[in-house]
Amino acid sequence: MTTTMTDLVNRFLTWPVPADVYPDGTPGQPGRTGTNLMTAQQAEAMLTHVLGDVLTEATKSERRAIAFGDIVQSQVVAMRAAVVAAKLEGLDVGMQWIANTLEGPGHLPDLEEARALGGAQALWDKETAEAEAFRAAHPAP
C-alpha cells in the first residue's frame, strides 16, 4: 500500500509530542500532538521539504515490484500449464508451452551455442555465472 503525503501529515499531526518539547511555552502538558506544533498545511510543507523526492521514488519502486511479481506469476503459471500438458497430452505438448513462453519475448536459447558449450548444464552454468557477475558489478542498494 502506497503511503501518501496526506497519510504522513495525519501521522505527524497525531504524533504525541514528547513531554520535554514545549511548542506553546508550557512544559509537561500530556496529550499534546503535532497539531500543537503546526497546521496540516504547514506540516505538509515541512514534510515535502524534508522528504524531497522520496515518496515519488517509493511509488515507482512499488510499481516495479508489482510488475516483477506479475512477471514471475505469469512464468509460474506457464510452467504449471507445461507440466499439466506434459502429463496429460505428452512431453512434446508440455515442452511447446515452455518454448512458446520463451519465444514470445525472444528468450529461446541458441541450440548451436548450447551444443558447442557442452549441453544444457553447460549453458546453465555459463548464463548463471554471467548473471552473478552482473549482479556483483551492480549490487542492489
C-beta atoms surrounding 9 within 10 Å: 22
pLDDT at 24 over 90: no
pLDDT band at 1 (very low <50, low <70, confident <90, very high): low
How many other C-beta atoms lie within 10 A of the C-beta of residue 13?
A: 18
Q: Would you say 36 and 42 are in contact if contact means Cβ atoms under 8 Å apart?
A: no
Q: Please tell me the distance from the alpha carbon of residue 26 to that of residue 44, in angstroms, as a whole number.
A: 25
99 confidence band (pLDDT: 50, 70, 90):
very high
pLDDT digits (tens, 9 = 90+) for 41-50: 999 999 989 9
Position 84 pLDDT exceeds 90: yes
Q: Tell me the mean pLDDT in the region 123-130.
A: 97
Greatest CA span in the chain, whole angstroms?
A: 81
Looking at per-residue pLDDT, the higher value among 33 and 16 belongs to: 16
d(CA 106, CA 18): 59
To the nearest whole percent, how much of the chain has pLDDT over 70? 98
The total of other beta-carbon atoms located within 10 Å of residue 40's CB is 14
Q: How many residues does the chain have?
A: 141
* Residue 134 to residue 140: CA distance in whole angstroms: 11
- pLDDT-derived band at 58 (thresholds 50, 70, 90) equals confident
Contact partners, residue 34, CB within 8 Å, separation at least 6: 12, 13, 14, 15, 17, 43
Using a pLDDT cut of 90, give the percent of the chain over it. Answer: 65
**Confidence bin at 22 (pLDDT 50/70/90):** confident
Arithmetic mean of pLDDT over the chain: 90
How large is the average pLDDT for residues 100-129? 95
